[in-house]
Each structure stands twice: as structure tokens, then as C-alpha cells.
Amino acid sequence: MKLKRSTTCGAPRTEHAGETITVNGWVNKIRDTAGAVFIDLRDADGMLQLVFDKASTPDLYASAKALGREFVIAAKGKIVKREGGINKNLPTGEVEMLVAELEILNEAETPPIEVSDSAKIDPELRMKHRYLDLRRPSMQNMLKQRSTLTNTLRNYFGERGFLEIETPYLTKATPEGARDFIVPARLHPGSFYALPQSPQIFKQILMCSGVDKYMQIVRCFRDEANRADRQPEFTQLDLEMCFVEPSDIYNYLDGAVKLVMQEMLGVEIPTPIEHMPHSEAMSGYAIDRPDKRYDLQLADLSELMSKSGFGAFKGAVEDGGVVKALRVPGGDELISKGQFKSIEKDAKGRGAKGLAFIRYKEGELDSPIAKFFSEEELSAIQSATGAQTGDMVLLLADKRKIVDGIMAEYRVQMAERASMTPAREYYYLWVDDFPLFEYDEESNRLYAAHHPFTSPADEESFMALAEEMRRTERKVTPKIVDLAEQVKANAYDLILNGIELGGGSIRIHRKPVQDAMFDCLGIGPEEAEAKFGFLLRALSYGAPPMGGIALGIDRWIMLLLGLDTIQDVIAFPKSAGGQGLLDGSPSLVDLELLQELKIKSLAE
């Protein structure tokens, strides 16, 4: 390589006119005219137009004509102001280089995908040829922004006394939550490691080991179906600290979020970040991660409808269900009769018995159910929803789970339809005061709403529940369900624009309380010892009060860059089917290796 670069392609500006520089990069685009060849040269820093003049450098002109897209070249020449049109889309758009020397560093075959942000390319093709896809300016920017985020977090927490400590990747399988990825242990035939879904247990043990503040930007693994905001392997910011209360966690994270927004986007966000109890989130938004960029809440009409003459709504409430209403601003024009029928069909497809509406027209109501309500009830519905002339109100009566699931999603859809969702705005929110347990009617079991190491906010009511569970030999009764519903957790989630960035809690640090938690979850002493014995032993030797949180780095970057999938913020992501299309993983292995591992494949 004779022509080593003196600067990057994205550096030259008008103040550099007259200087001779050397740049290296990839040929992005070639434009051949009668008198010159123009090449857009691209590197990780930007793009620069190179000019090969036929009259003054005929040999170079001929060489430039022979170049192809994605050839790697080095060029030396003088920076001049553009005589032709200025390219306002490029930071270097006011200058160009008059090439005096050219070196071809490598040729390239015709690329199977276009290296351009404007090209529409099949996502699977992009992943298969990721080495080309990552050359696109937007992807280079993503990699830089991701690095900025992780470096900012490391520096922020490091300056505040957090130690970055690595926890194991080969761990013990704990069949709680999502499926584990398992790894055969060659030296222990028939036994398996598990790849960690999180470092939760190990970071608690670090607190038991005298570490005051821990942090790690860590890779985690979950064997679950892919979604737009999930991948089998993902990265999270993991934190844990001793002798803290929830307010300490909030203070650390508020400061970190504020700094990240300044460093990455130059955006100032107000702190302290707003808090919302879980009960308020479910009541007003039907979801525990509400998007508060727009002011649109659900109205709970259950009490009003319990005394109504409309049998469908009254019956739903009497059966233990709820009635909720959603105002659609301008909905009378935004939602036609045909569109409403499609929405109603969708609701029925999700398990609802039906969906009702009220249109608020000038001086009148349009609704097939209005005749079932008194004037006072209609007035109460309008007051509760805040409906005005031109609006439409959607009403749904059914079991709470069905109503909340449907109306939470319709709130987002209707806000978008009414153009209420602002682009490039960032609304952070803490949701706290969660229930400690969730009850599953089908299995008649209590489950930890977060994880089984989350401490109760009220230990007295929690221990009363545990005592009742012991009395029934861990069989769930209606009384236990009632007691469980009253127990709140020392848990909190951080939300951005209606997406959960992550969550955490104050942990159980005393073994009797942890034993009681296992009792509530129907986990006996032998099972608890088999799964979590090493943690329980650590808790028995003077564990301090502790708490922490984990935030999804991939999801956070996705939201900050305004992207739709975390595949676009991971250098080498998996496909929707969990495949690595670049390297062909997962793949079959040699029979000899399976025999050495004492494993027999049952796959046909």
C-alpha cells in the first residue's frame, strides 16, 4: 500500500481547499461523462467526490473507467471547491478532490445487494451478506452510536464507584421463565451447562461477597420465539448495589439516562423521571408500559355500567369483567363504517364478544347502543371519556384480561390514526408499585411477577401469605389468591415511548424470606436446594440489603435511532427463525463429536 490515507473521506471542508490529501475507501458510485469520471468514495467517516479529469490526467481517467462498485482504492489529490452543483445531503458536499494518483487496493465482485440507505433490500438478504449491509452509512452510524452508549454508561457508572465484573457464561440451568440454551459438558457425560438468561443470581452473590456496586454490559441468552424487539442473544446493562432503596436506583438511572440523551442525541430530558404506580397504568392505559407521548387515556365505566339497563355491559360487570372506553379524537371522520367493522372483527378475533361505538356529531349522537342508556348515563360516558364533537368512542365489555389486551393496543393504533404520536420525541417513565405475584387460573399457581428474588414491599402481609401457603401444604386456595393480590413488590420498570427498557427490584436478602417466597411459588425445600442452593447458602452468611436493575441495550438503541427492529442494531443478528444467515448457524455436527459428548440426536 503506497498511498496511505492522511485523512478520512468525511473530513474535507471548504477551509481545506488547496490542500493535497490521501484518502482510502470503497467505490460507492461511478458517474462517467465525456470529460471526466466522478466517483463517490466511501469510508466509515463519510463520502467524498473524486474527479478524474480526462484532459489533464488521461491515464487516470482510463483507470477510473475500469473501476467497479465496492472496489477498494487509495487516491491522492487536491481539494477544491465544487464548480458544479453543491450536494447539500453530504457534509463534504461543497468540495471535491482532483485526483493526481490512484492505487487499486482490491477489486470486488458485483455485490449481491446495493450498499445504499435508499435501496429496499430483503431483510434476510441483508443478514446473509451482513459484511456488505454494515457498510451502509446508517449502519456505520448505528455502530458508532451503540459504542457511544456503552462507553457513556461504563464511564458514568465507573466514576460512581461501580466495578465492572464478568459473570459466568456457562452456568446451571434454572427452569424459570424462558427456555435455556444448554451446552453439553464433555467431561461430565449426561450433564449440561446453561447459557445465562441474566446474571441475576451471580450479581446477588457478588453483593454477598462484599462488592458494593457492580455493573456489567453483558450478553444474555433466551431460547424463545423472535419478535421485533427480541433476539435469542442480546445485550443488557446489568447493575447491582448494596444498602440501597428504590430511590437510590432511580437517582443513578435518572442521571445515566440524562447523560446518554445528551451524548448521543444532544437532547435534554427533564429529571427526575416521572413515576406512575402499576395500578394507575393499568387503569388508565390497560398496560404496564404506557406510551405517554400523547394524552389519551382509557375510561373505566364498570361502576357506571353495573347499574345500567344495557344487559350486555351490566352482565359483563356482574360476571367479574370490566367495561372500558377509548376516545378517538376526530374519529367520526377518521373511522368509516367499513373501517369500524374491520376493527370490530379484529376485536372478536382476539376473544371479545363485540365492540361498540358512539359517534359525537354536531348536535347528535350516532350509536346503535345509545337507545339503551339514559340521558344521565350518556352524559356520564361523555364526561368520563372527554369526548367532543367530531370524536368517536370505542366501548368494550368483557373479562379484564381480554379488555385490557385489546384496548391497550387500540389506544396506540388510534393515536397513530389521529396523528397524535410525535416522531423523535422521548418520554421516559418509571412504573413501580407492582404486584409481587401473578395468579394463573389454569394451573392454579402463583408466579413471581418479576422473578423469585424480588422483595415484598410489605413483609408482614407477605409472611402472612407464606404462612397460609404452608398451612395448605402449598396448595392455592381462593383465600391465598385474595392475600396474594394485596402483596406489592419492591419492583420498578423503566419505560421509553411505551416500550419496557428494563426492570429491577430490591432483592430478598434474608434466607427465611427467600424460603417463604419459594413456599408461595409452590417450590419445596428439595426443589429450592436443587435449583438455587448456592444462592440460599450465600444468603445465610450475612447478606446485605441489595437492589439493582437491567436495561436492554439493543432495545434502547433501537428506540433512540427510530428503528423498527433490534436486528438493525446488532452487528450480526439472528433471523426470525433464530438462524445466523451469515454463518449458517445452527448446523449439524459430526457424529464423532456427538459420540464423544455421549449425546444421541433424535432429529430425523
Q: How confident is the model at residue 243 (pLDDT cuts 50, 70, 90)?
A: very high
pLDDT at 216: 98
Signed CA dihedral, 13, 17, 22, 28: sign only: positive
Q: 357 to each of 272, 305, 368, how far by Cα in Å? A: 39, 15, 8
Residues 92, 28 contacting (CB under 8 angstroms): no
Q: Which residues pair with 73 in a beta bridge?
A: 25, 104
Output helix, strand, coil percentages for the chain, rounded to the nearest 5: 35, 25, 40
What is the CATH code of the structural domain delimited by 133-267+427-575? Answer: 3.30.930.10
Amino acid 41 reads L
* The pLDDT of residue 111 is above 70: yes
- Domain spanning 294-421: CATH 3.30.300.30: no
Residues 5, 23 contacting (CB under 8 angstroms): yes
Q: Write down the pTM of the prediction.
A: 0.92
pLDDT at 601: 85
Domain positions in the chain: 14-106, 133-267+427-575, 294-421
Q: How confident is the model at residue 577 (pLDDT cuts 50, 70, 90)?
A: confident
* The pLDDT of residue 457 is above 70: yes
Q: How confident is the model at residue 228 (pLDDT cuts 50, 70, 90)?
A: low
Which pairs from 29-35 meet CB under 8 Å and 24+ separation? 29/69, 30/64, 30/67, 30/68, 30/69, 32/65
Q: Taking the C-alpha atoms of 401, 405, 406 and 408 in order, what is their torsion angle to the nearest 10 degrees? A: 130
For the segment 370-385, the average pLDDT, to the nearest whole number, is 94
* The pLDDT of residue 180 is above 80: yes
Q: Grid coordinates standing for 229? A: 424487539
Amino acid 592 reads E
pLDDT in tens, 497-537: 999 999 999 999 999 999 999 999 988 889 889 888 899 99
Q: How confident is the model at residue 398 (pLDDT cuts 50, 70, 90)?
A: very high
Residues 268, 261 contacting (CB under 8 angstroms): yes
Q: Grid coordinates standing for 294? A: 400523547
* The pLDDT of residue 178 is above 80: no
* The pLDDT of residue 176 is above 60: no
Signed CA dihedral, 197, 198, 202, 208: sign only: negative
Query: Other C-beta atoms within 10 Å of 348: how many?
Result: 13
Amino acid 581 reads L
The residue that leads in pLDDT, 602 or 519, is 519
Q: How confident is the model at residue 604 (pLDDT cuts 50, 70, 90)?
A: low
Q: 580 to each of 125, 383, 557, 575, how far by Cα in Å? A: 12, 54, 21, 6
SS3 of 322, please? strand
pLDDT at 445: 92
Q: Indicate the helix (H) or strand (E) that contains 385.
A: helix 375-385
Alpha helix stretches (DSSP H) within 15-163: 58-65, 123-128, 130-133, 137-158
Distance of CA 37 to the CA centre of its chain: 45
Rounded to the nearest 5°, which phi and psi values hold at 120? -95, 115
Among residues of the chain, what percentage have pLDDT more than 70?
99
pLDDT at 369: 94
Residues in the chain, total? 604
Among residues of the chain, what percentage have pLDDT more than 90?
88
Task: Give the Cα separation of 503 and 178 in Å (integer).
Answer: 16
Architecture in CATH of 14-106? Beta Barrel (2.40)
pLDDT in tens, 407-439: 999 999 999 999 998 888 999 999 999 999 999
What single string gives the DSSP state of each residue in 176-243?
SSSBPPEEE-TTSTT-EEE--S-SHHHHHHHHHTT-SEEEEEEEEE-BS--BTTB-SEEEEEEEEEES
* The pLDDT of residue 92 is above 90: yes
Residues 370, 379 contacting (CB under 8 angstroms): no
Rounded to the nearest 5°, which phi and psi values hold at 78? -100, 140
